[in-house]
Copies of this chain bind each other. A is one copy, B any other.
């Protein structure tokens, strides 16, 4: 029998996060204060984040030590397994080898606890007792609820309304870990009330929910804001994924030609890809592919521009690919990928040609998810299924070209809380929505007049 799982022992957990900033050919451009147009400094961020996270945000050190208290909690589920997808390969009849790193074994069922635990730790250390955050599909909200529970922090989650309605049991999960949750836009914040007044039926968006959570944190001394993606320190914390994967691919006697992840804000993609990009920047030939939904095609069709991270313009201006800060994506089932922007570091890597992106329709993505579930067994999350689809398309293209490739993708989470989406898919009720040209143009008006990146 050929080996299926490549495991590392707890003692082999990475002891340091990898900071790709130190190795990037061009560093990401600074975030700007929207009032002054000047780069944002640590003091500007201090009301929202603990100082250690702010320092990580701007650090140029290549490696940052992971605190023992964080490693101790990581060890509840990390190192995560890396699989050779023998059965999926058989199902599609490819000559390529497909591997996947599985982050769904965490208590919250995704990669999100990798940063949630770190963020909760630094907040407790600096005396915060409460965190506020937003969540799309609920993977981030449940991860932060879990981390807060373990560190004894209060936690308030603003959940995008469409997901709040579509995924009731993700809500229950957040509550089971003791957090408070509300559908966003909500009546509990100024921003929420303003949006509800204009659009009482708003399905919500990550941009809106971020506004609410930031407002909540800004108004309370005891509360810090916590973000599950986009920011440099969040991507940093995820790099345990790729570091483990490199060691596990070595156990498998292989190295990937192609590294694939799905991208919403970009954290699971970065987590797997950054340690491999370190090798690529060092001269190794690797194709790094970001997969996004055609309904929210930030990297493939968005503009690289300065834009707000949220809808109500409470955040600094971020240099990133964007569809405009008031863009509200169609309510597709991969709720975690419905974000108008993307992490600035990922945008910069895209501009520098170190990564590329493709956008997929959701019925194609679900077809690949069902093929995967029926061969490898695991029911994947709709978000992670974009990476599965990317891997299958890559293998098929290689077969057509008569090539054999070694493909590695990040299976960032399981789909146990997304079964309603599968029901809709099987019932033929999933709509394929690619972003409309006119709609995109309309959305991009939002960034007119904002500064332009160099």
Give A residues with C-beta under 8 Å from B. 1, 3-5, 7, 9-10, 68, 71-72, 75-77, 83, 87, 105-109, 146, 149-150, 168-169, 172-173, 175-178, 370, 373-379, 414, 416-417, 419-420, 422-423, 426
Contacts and interface: CB of A to CB of B under 8 A. Distances in A.
A193 to B, nearest CB: 28
Given A107-B379, A374-B177, A172 B72 contact: no
A1 B379 contact: no
Which of A87, A172, A175 has the most B CB atoms < 10 Å from its CB? A172
A326 to B, nearest CB: 33
A379 B173 CA distance: 8
Given A377-B146, A378-B107, A9 B10 contact: no
A1 B377 contact: no
A176 B7 contact: no
Contacts of A146: 377
A373 B419 contact: no
A422 B379 CA distance: 22
A422 B146 CA distance: 15
Contacts of A374: 149-150, 177-178
Contact of A71 (B1, B7, B377, B417): B1
Given A87-B150, A169-B169, A370-B176, A377 B76 contact: yes
B177 A419 contact: no
Given A172-B420, A176-B370, 5 more contacts: A1-B71, A4-B10, A5-B10, A172-B419, A173-B416
A1 B73 CA distance: 10
A105 B105 contact: yes
26 contacts: A1-B71, A1-B72, A3-B10, A4-B10, A4-B75, A5-B10, A5-B76, A7-B7, A76-B83, A76-B377, A106-B377, A107-B377, A146-B377, A150-B374, A168-B419, A169-B169, A169-B420, A172-B420, A173-B419, A175-B422, A175-B426, A176-B373, A176-B379, A176-B419, A177-B373, A178-B374
B419 A4 contact: no
Contacts of A83: 76
Contacts of A177: 373-374
Nearest to A11: B3
Contacts of A175: 422-423, 426
Nearest to A146: B377
Contact of A422 (B1, B3, B176): B176
Nearest to A109: B416
A416 B378 CA distance: 14
Nearest to A117: B377
Contacts of A1: 68, 71-72, 75
A3 B169 CA distance: 32
A109 B107 CA distance: 13
